[in-house]
Structure 1
Amino acid sequence: IALIAALNGLLGWATALIGFEAVTIELILGYLFQPIAFLLGVPWSEANVAGGLIGQKLVLNEFVAYIAYLDIADTLSPISQAIVVFALCGFANFSSIAILLGGLGALAPTRRDDISRLGLRALLTATLANLMSAALAGFFLSFQ
């Protein structure tokens, strides 16, 4: 988390030097995950914000993303809020790969190579399961 804050400071400083608006990791993640948030059912006008939160959850962790969500929840529509809450609810992030390697690697030290090879696949699968739950929430709430 401190590394992301340092990168945000460095990016903000570098972009201010060349006369652009301050760029942050969250802003970049927002643009990267905007189409995914839109596919989940978030309106395009709110998809950048929702995508940034989903990206924060993946890169940092869900606790940081939920804290950021609390600051901007009022700017999202109720359906977008529900979709974002479901999308953030899970342990699919890069730090979970380290936890997986540490825990399972201690239980089965001879299989550590297999576990490390499957770490990114497990992250992708868990992320897709999370996003599928969010899409279903958006689908069912859209009928109200």
Structure 2
Amino acid sequence: MSAPAALAVSKLSLPETETPKIKSQKEIKITAGREVNILEAVSVGAADAIKLVAYVVVNLIAFLAFLTLLDSSMSYLGGRVGYPQMSFQIIFSYLFMPLSRVMGVAWEDCHIVGWLIGKKLILNEFLSFADLGQMIKDGGIADRSAVIATYILCGFGSMAAIGINFGSLSSACPSRRGDIATGIIRAFVGGNVACFMTACIAGV
């Protein structure tokens, strides 16, 4: 279900209004490497991989540091009114309660699922899956809600993923860095919408 949902959302968010430059697979031309043997190919590949990993790690650290700054600011402001545990994750847990209900989650589980969505968006989907697994093990969430939540969380759509994707794509094609930066937020939103669509199908 995820592939058609991603295709539909991407076409809606960035419709193709001009005539495609490439109309068939035969028109795709990939330049061959200039390496003379396998040893040189391995060496060049390893050097390119180092640049890719460096881009990903540095961007991930930068985005996580920025998110930590925002959460610390929220905690400070919340402490001024007697609520120091304030964070974006808590705010999102309430914001996504109605959306969780629309996708078919039982109302008594909506706050939990909203909290999982907030953790996915702000931190990482793997951490959300770990919490969901523990909830299922402890019986803290209904089976139907757990299934829907699984589809909601099943996507590479966190704030940290923005840094990872931007770093990896920019290192692969530095000349398109501006285009990638322009569309990365739209891709982040579209990817999560696609996950929500698959969750709606699972709810039905």
TM bin, normalised by shorter chain, reads 0.7 to 0.9
Mapped to 1, the partners of 2:118 and 2:90 lie a distance apart of 10
Q: Match for residue 128 of structure 1?
A: 193
**Which residues of 2 match residues 63-74 of structure 1 at below 5 A?**
63-73=126-136, 74=139
Mapped to 2, the partners of 1:27 and 1:70 lie a distance apart of 20
Mapped to 2, the partners of 1:67 and 1:32 lie a distance apart of 22
AA paired with 1:116?
A
**Compared with structure 1, are the counterparts of its residues 23 and 70 closer, same or farther at alpha carbon in structure 2 (3 Å cutoff)?**
farther
Instruction: Kindly indicate whether residue 144 of structure 2 is the aligned counterpart of residue 84 of structure 1.
Output: no
Mapped to 1, the partners of 2:167 and 2:82 lie a distance apart of 44
Mapped to 2, the partners of 1:115 and 1:41 lie a distance apart of 34
Q: Match for residue 39 of structure 1?
A: 102
Deviations 1:60-103 (A, max 9, x none): 11111112223333221111010001111110111221122111
CA RMSD of superposed structures (Å): 2.7
Which has the higher relative contact order, 1 or 2, with Cα contacts under 8 A spaced 6 or more apart?
Answer: 2
AA paired with 2:89?
E
Mapped to 2, the partners of 1:81 and 1:19 lie a distance apart of 33
Mapped to 2, the partners of 1:7 and 1:19 lie a distance apart of 16
Q: Match for residue 11 of structure 1?
A: 75
User: TM-score, structure 2 length as denominator?
Assistant: 0.58
Uncovered stretches (5+) of structure 1, i.e. residues with no partner? 140-144
Mapped to 1, the partners of 2:89 and 2:182 lie a distance apart of 28
User: Which structure's residues are more often helix, by fraction?
Assistant: 1
**Compared with structure 1, are the counterparts of its residues 7 and 125 closer, same or farther at alpha carbon in structure 2 (3 Å cutoff)?**
closer
Mapped to 1, the partners of 2:155 and 2:141 lie a distance apart of 21
**Compared with structure 1, are the counterparts of its residues 114 and 22 closer, same or farther at alpha carbon in structure 2 (3 Å cutoff)?**
closer
Instruction: Kindly indicate whether residue 178 of structure 2 is the aligned counterpart of residue 113 of structure 1.
Output: yes
